[in-house]
Structure 1
């Protein structure tokens, strides 16, 4: 797969996850090793942690929390989401404990301060999350972020997983092989409509 295809067809996969095929630990480790090469602010490089969850009982406990918070989110904000995407999200929530692996990206510390500090904190994690999703896609796996619990029940998930109080969960991904490889670029606004040059609102 060429780079442009990889970058334009890596989707949030919800309906097309293979819930029966195990994810080999060595494949996931290889993807995590690649993801760890993503740009990370130097001050945070040593504070980054991955947590891989494949124990069925643990996944079941997490799924209950994420499902409840996900349904609550859909009830509040579902009218802002296209019906097809909403149905896709609800499908994933209904089978969440069957997903072979969850991967949680964490960073030591609790974010606070101005926009620059918050940007550096979260911006040191999400490039690695995206790199992980790309590495997974290139090997026939799909992923999607399922962080519904982060708003109100991060501490409950932390308790289940033994995550210390001074560690922030930034993103949780559901990971599985996909049942198809025919993903296409998503519908996005035209680049000339959302790009300015030199000054806000000035056409590029």
Structure 2
């Protein structure tokens, strides 16, 4: 299917986390999803093992149940989530309020998003992610594919957002979707829908002089 005419730079700089501007009333053609998946599988992966799997959830009852696990992960998380970090940008109250409003919108309407995508990575043992090396090997074998899926979606007028709250209840999500819990780790939950408008812009980011360390920290 034809998509948006975006340069590579435009695609990379305007693929945003879309929450409020997801079109909840417009279905997404399976052909579009399959095109995005085909491009996702061209991503590099450790030792070319291609350990990724994507669970595409379109059934309304399963979407509603998965959305409930997402909400539960936010209001009753099972693990402490670090809230601190380096704030590299100037405090912008209006921007923070917009982000909070956007997050609340997704919280309220996630079950209405026509497609929910759960990217997964297969493991021999869930303890593979217990060390920094194991984490790098595991996530490095799935995250590039998910990002390529999101870029492919953007180029076709579709919006996505990377979310993880449902992972507090990963075992329950695995049971809901028939995912083999002991040998498959879920990486995220990605809402997918046509966007309301396609005029996304670059996000506010710090300059490279604040993040680049040449030869030493």
Aligned-residue offset at 1:112: 3.1
Aligned-residue offset at 1:79: 9.2
Quick one: distance in 2 between partners of 1:72 and 1:182? 36
Whether 1:163 aligns to 2:179 is: yes
5+ long unaligned stretches in structure 2: 1-5, 86-94
Quick one: distance in 2 between partners of 1:64 and 1:122? 25
Indicate conservation of the 8 Å contact 1:49/1:105, yes or no: yes
5+ long unaligned stretches in structure 1: none
Q: Where do 1:38-117 residues align within 5 Å?
A: 38-42=43-47, 44-45=49-50, 47-72=51-76, 82-109=96-123, 110=126, 111-117=128-134
Indicate conservation of the 8 Å contact 2:129/2:138, yes or no: no
Quick one: distance in 2 between partners of 1:198 and 1:96? 44
Specify whether residues 113 and 60 from structure 1 end up closer, same or farther in structure 2 by C-alpha distance, changes over 3 A only.
closer
Whether 1:26 aligns to 2:42 is: no
Aligned-residue offset at 1:54: 0.2
Task: Kindly tell me the number of residue pairs found equivalent between the two proteins.
Answer: 197
Indicate conservation of the 8 Å contact 1:71/1:90, yes or no: no
Q: Aligned with 2:161: secondary structure?
A: strand
Aligned-residue offset at 1:123: 1.2
Q: Superposition RMSD on alpha carbons, in Å? A: 2.0
Quick one: distance in 2 between partners of 1:96 and 1:78? 23
The TM-score, its normalising length taken from structure 1, stands at 0.90
The TM-score, its normalising length taken from structure 2, stands at 0.85
Alignment correspondent of 1:147: 164
